[in-house]
């Protein structure tokens, strides 16, 4: 009964295909017990002068029993489909278990083809949508137009065999690309560290030549710059001329494929392997790093080096030599060439990612110039810690925290730290936490409260910071800053919140000296209102013993204030304002609907 219901839906989805003149249905829907999917075989006709695109090619529409939900893929037929791998297609080198279709599913769901609306999800239109997209894909492929200039570049699909237990990270951008272009060394031994296990995350620290000279150093933040292994791991590397591909756009699956792909770009990878593996005959498996230049867009000039890692088999060592050869490099290499790097042996690709800040920030970044500034955070409490976390996650690399306070369990209700940090210095734990958020973060700490002496000299050098962010909520700290005459201009920001964090008070200044008179005048009426509220408000007590009030304010209120503060700081910086700006934000709701923070008053002073 259930099978009949599924077939009814699938047959309903099939009927609209009769309207497509280039499509002919060759079979009825069938269920594959091995793959646990339904499939329909069709023929697509296109005009083609390209040898690997047949004028009449056959395809399998493969869907799950949940149609119109669930899986829907289009695969080429084993005998009468395309056998190469093209752009916007999965690796097409394999034949699936049932022997009917190849593995190269067409990429139809994403925005890879023009003039089509987003994927529908109805019974009548989802299958039709995919078949129309398949016809369009095939027509473009037959004209050699699957990709166009200024289309974002995509790598071929490297089949991963260890996706869960090993990853490799590197950091490359346009600056390091120019550094690579200036070196003549094209292969050698890299040194890797390991950040964590399960999965193991290997990351490269330095590339060396075979004789041990430094070729390229990778700059990381404090968390990754620190040594995690006593002895760094050796990994052979080679820099190719272009991505290694065969059969149009297919990543190598075997060492034979890799040899052919490198031969196509006049790189003797066998000769390179003979030289580099002589440095790793220690009975262990090692990563092998293959780098190649790629553009940002198809048709563009290369502007970055991408490194793809593979996991080498154990190379010959000790008594493991070719028959009749001694225990030396010649005997070991003869065995490697015949057995270890046999053309039919599968390549064990490792999940490889560019951890450069530019790549990390593609999901959301701030102004580049702001992120490059040196920022001092005075006060590592809840609002300061939340602002710091937003900044570091957005790519800020140079931040110093100044404070001297212990974390207690009560702080956990709204601070970014956790149980493991109780009893320790907030600023030290916060520094460690922030450095763990970004591989390029360089967060330092000053374990002291800001103070000045009788000559008004502060206990830390403030001149070296571009932006000073004060989050203590203490007037005496503002008094210290008001008594300083800086040698150069700094951006100064003070952030504090009112009762329950229902109000946010900010001042932003750009200059050599600071006067908070206007800021105090602006917020004074609000502070007076809150004093009255404090007297009427049943404040929670802090611990047992002498009654000590705790400032109320939930974590969501604090984070909302922090996010609003960051927006205000970025806008002030990017506008290059020379005005002193004081702001009061207030949480608003309308008939039970929360409307967020709204600016209720501001003051600008020249």
Please answer whether residues 577 and 373 qualify as being in contact, where contact means their C-beta atoms are separated by less than 8 angstroms: no
Give the mean model confidence (pLDDT) for residues 571-592.
94
Rounded Cα distance, 354 and 294, in Å: 12
Q: How do residues 275-301 score in pLDDT, each as one tens digit? A: 999 999 999 999 999 999 999 999 999
Q: How do residues 458-510 score in pLDDT, each as one tens digit? A: 999 999 999 999 999 999 999 999 999 999 999 999 999 998 889 999 999 99
Tokens of 311: 């996991």
- Mean pLDDT of all residues belonging to the chain: 93
Angle at which helix 426-435 crosses helix 382-393, to 10 degrees, equals 20
Residues with Cβ within 8 Å of 306's Cβ and at least 6 positions away in sequence, in order, are 155, 172, 243, 291, 292, 293, 294, 352, 354
Residue 547 has pLDDT above 60, yes or no: no
Domain boundaries, the chain: 2-142, 166-355, 361-605
**Phi, psi values for residue 24, rounded to 5°:** -130, 130
Number of helices followed by number of strands (H, E) in the chain: 14, 21
Short-list 40, 42, 22, CA closest to 31: 40
Q: How do residues 57-114 score in pLDDT, each as one tens digit? A: 999 999 999 999 999 999 999 999 999 999 999 999 999 999 999 999 999 876 566 6
Q: State the pLDDT at residue 541.
A: 47
The reported pTM is 0.91
Residue 519 has pLDDT above 80, yes or no: yes
Q: State the pLDDT at residue 111.
A: 59
Q: How do residues 382-416 score in pLDDT, each as one tens digit? A: 999 999 999 999 999 899 999 999 999 888 889 99
Q: State the pLDDT at residue 535.
A: 63
Residues with Cβ within 8 Å of 68's Cβ and at least 6 positions away in sequence, in order, are 9, 13, 121, 122, 123, 126, 127
**In a 3-state reduction of DSSP, which class is residue 304?**
strand
Rounded Cα distance, 53 and 134, in Å: 13
Tokens of 34: 């091995």
Rounded Cα distance, 355 and 172, in Å: 8
Q: Dihedral, CA atoms, 325, 331, 337, 340, nearest 10 degrees?
A: 100
CA-to-CA separations, 499 to 402, 502, 508, in angstroms, rounded: 24, 6, 21
Above pLDDT 70, what percent of the chain?
Answer: 95
**In a 3-state reduction of DSSP, which class is residue 64?**
coil
CA-to-CA separations, 275 to 242, 288, 484, in angstroms, rounded: 21, 13, 62
Q: State the pLDDT at residue 545.
A: 47
Q: State the pLDDT at residue 536.
A: 57
Rounded Cα distance, 99 and 92, in Å: 13
The helix or strand, by DSSP H or E, that contains position 3, with its residue range, turns out to be helix 2-14
CATH topology of domain 2-142: Ubiquitin Conjugating Enzyme (3.10.110)
Q: State the pLDDT at residue 164.
A: 62
Q: How do residues 235-273 score in pLDDT, each as one tens digit? A: 999 999 999 999 999 999 999 999 999 999 999 999 999
Short-list 450, 470, 548, 534, CA closest to 498: 534
Q: State the pLDDT at residue 113.
A: 65
Please answer whether residues 57 and 138 qualify as being in contact, where contact means their C-beta atoms are separated by less than 8 angstroms: yes
Bridge partners of 57?
44
Q: State the pLDDT at residue 537.
A: 55
Give the mean model confidence (pLDDT) for residues 205-213.
98
Residue 539 has pLDDT above 80, yes or no: no
CATH topology of domain 361-605: Rossmann fold (3.40.50)
């Amino acid at each position: 009964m259930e099978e009949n219901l599924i077939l009814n839906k699938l047959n309903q989805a099939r009927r609209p295909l009769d309207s497509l003149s280039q499509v002919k249905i060759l079979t009825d829907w069938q269920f594959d017990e091995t793959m646990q999917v339904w499939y329909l075989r069709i023929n697509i006709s296109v005009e083609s002068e390209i040898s690997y695109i047949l004028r009449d090619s056959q395809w399998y529409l493969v869907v799950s029993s949940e149609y119109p939900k669930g899986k829907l893929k289009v695969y080429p037929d084993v005998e009468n489909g395309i056998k190469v791998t093209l752009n916007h297609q999965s690796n097409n080198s394999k034949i699936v278990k049932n022997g009917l279709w190849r593995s190269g599913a067409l990429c139809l769901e994403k925005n890879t083809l023009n003039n089509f609306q987003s994927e529908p999800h109805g019974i009548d239109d989802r299958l039709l949508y995919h078949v129309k997209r398949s016809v369009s894909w095939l027509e473009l492929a037959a004209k050699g137009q699957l990709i166009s200039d200024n289309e974002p570049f995509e790598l071929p699909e490297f089949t991963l065999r260890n996706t869960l237990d090993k990853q490799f990270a590197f950091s490359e951008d346009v600056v390091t690309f120019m550094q690579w272009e200036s070196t003549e060394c094209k292969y050698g031994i890299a040194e890797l560290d390991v950040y964590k296990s399960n999965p193991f995350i290997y990351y490269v620290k330095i590339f060396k030549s075979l004789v041990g000279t430094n070729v390229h150093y990778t700059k990381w933040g404090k968390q990754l710059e620190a040594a995690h292994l006593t002895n760094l791991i050796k990994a052979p590397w080679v820099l190719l001329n272009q991505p290694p591909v065969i059969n149009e756009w297919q990543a190598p699956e075997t060492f034979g494929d890799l040899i052919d792909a490198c031969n196509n770009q006049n790189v003797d990878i066998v000769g390179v392997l003979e030289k580099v593996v002589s440095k790793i005959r220690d009975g262990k498996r090692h990563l092998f790093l293959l780098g190649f230049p790629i553009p940002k867009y198809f048709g563009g000039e290369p502007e970055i080096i991408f490194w793809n890692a593979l996991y080498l088999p154990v190379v010959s060592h000790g008594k493991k030599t070719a028959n009749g050869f001694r225990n030396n490099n010649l005997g070991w290499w003869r065995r490697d060439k015949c057995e270890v790097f046999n053309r039919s042996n599968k390549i064990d690709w490792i999940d490889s990612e560019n951890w450069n800040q530019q790549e990390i920030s593609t999901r959301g970044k701030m102004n580049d110039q702001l992120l490059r500034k040196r920022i001092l955070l005075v006060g590592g409490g809840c609002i300061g810690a939340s602002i710091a976390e937003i900044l570091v996650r957005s790519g800020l690399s140079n931040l110093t925290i100044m404070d001297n306070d212990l974390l207690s369990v009560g702080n956990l209700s709204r601070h970014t730290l956790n149980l493991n940090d109780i009893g320790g210095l907030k600023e030290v734990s916060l520094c460690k936490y922030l450095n763990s958020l970004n591989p390029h973060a360089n967060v330092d700490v000053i374990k002291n409260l800001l103070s000045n002496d009788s000559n008004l000299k502060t206990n830390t050098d403030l001149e070296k910071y571009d932006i000073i962010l004060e989050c203590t909520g203490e007037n005496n700290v503002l008094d210290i800053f008001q008594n300083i005459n800086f040698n150069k201009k700094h951006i100064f920001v003070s952030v504090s919140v009112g009762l329950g964090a229902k109000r946010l008070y900010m001042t932003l200044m750009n200059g050599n000296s600071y006067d908070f008179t206007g800021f105090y005048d602006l917020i004074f009426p609000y502070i007076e209102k809150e004093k009255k509220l404090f007297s009427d408000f049943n404040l929670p007590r802090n611990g047992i013993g002498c009654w000590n009030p705790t400032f109320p304010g939930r974590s969501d209120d604090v984070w909302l204030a922090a996010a609003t503060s960051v927006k205000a700081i970025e806008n002030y910086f990017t506008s290059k304002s020379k005005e002193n700006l004081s702001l009061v934000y207030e949480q608003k709701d309308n008939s039970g609907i929360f409307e967020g923070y709204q600016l209720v008053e501001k003051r600008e002073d020249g």
